[in-house]
Amino acid sequence: MPRVKIMAAAVIVSAVAATSCEAVAPYMWATRYRAPTYTWNQNYAHVQYGQPVAVPLPPTVQMQTNWGWGVGSTRISRVDHQFGRDYPGAGPHGGPFMKQPYWPQNTNQFGAYYVRSPW
C-alpha cells in the first residue's frame, strides 16, 4: 500500500513538473542577458522623424529577417528587446543619428527597428 502511494505521488509530481516547463529554442536562452547590454536601435534615423522608430511586434515573435542588397546579404536575427507597459517619461536620447543613405544597402538603414510589445 505505501508503495502505491509513493508511486502515485511520483506520477503527480512529474506531471506537474512536465506541464510547468516552457519549451524555448536554445538560441533564445540568452535573450534576457543580451537585451540589457544592447540598444534596441542602430545608428540610423528614420527619414520622417529624425530619430530611430520602434516597430511594435507581437510578444511571441522571436526572429526577424534583415534584407540586404547584394550577394549573401540577407540574415535572420533575434528580436531581443521587449518594451514594458509603463512609460517612464522623457529621458535622455541617443544621437546623433546618421541619415538614411540615398541608396540603402540594408533594411537596418531605414531607421525602423523591431521591438516586441508587452501585451
**Low-confidence spans in the chain with pLDDT less than 50:** none
List phi, psi (to 5°) of 115: -140, 135
Give the model's pLDDT for residue 17. 57
Give the model's pLDDT for residue 29. 59
Three-state helix/strand/coil letters over the chain: CHHHHHHHHHHHHHHHHHHCCCCCCHHHCCHHHHHHHCCCCCCECCCCCCCCEEEEECCCCCEEEECECCCCCCEEEECCCECCCCCCCCCCCCCCCECCCCCCCEHHHHCEEEEECCC
